[in-house]
Amino acid sequence: MSKERARRRAERLAVLEKEKAARARKVARRTRFQEFRRSLKPRFGRNGRLYHRSRRERIGIVVVAALAVAAVWTFIPDMALRVILTVLLVLAVPALVVAVLGRRSS
């Protein structure tokens, strides 16, 4: 009789160990997945922006862009061409800023 109880206890313990191992694998997989997701997210600075430019750089970008728009509106007589060049400048300034100043993280 005691051998039978010992055998059933051993079977129960074996089943419990399998369930415990499966649970541990599931938790480990979930943890790895959460870490992977966290690694994919961009890291924001304290102010919530991905990339940081100094105040002088931002002022310089605005001044140069404003001077370019002012030059277009001063020296180009055709209104349609003025509008097209202004839109082109507005669209091209971000790419030019990245090309000239680089894209550095905060």
Tell me the residue range of the domain where 62 lies: 55-101
pLDDT, the chain, mean:
87
In a domain, 32, yes or no: yes
In a domain, 106, yes or no: no
Question: Is the pTM above the cut of 0.95?
Answer: no
Structure tokens at 61: 């970008």
Total domains, the chain = 2
Q: What is the pLDDT, as a whole number, of residue 44?
A: 63
In a domain, 47, yes or no: no
Q: How confident is the model at residue 97 (pLDDT cuts 50, 70, 90)?
A: confident
Cα distances from 95 to residues 23, 54, 78, 101, in angstroms, run 50, 18, 26, 10
Are 29 and 7 contained in the same domain?
yes
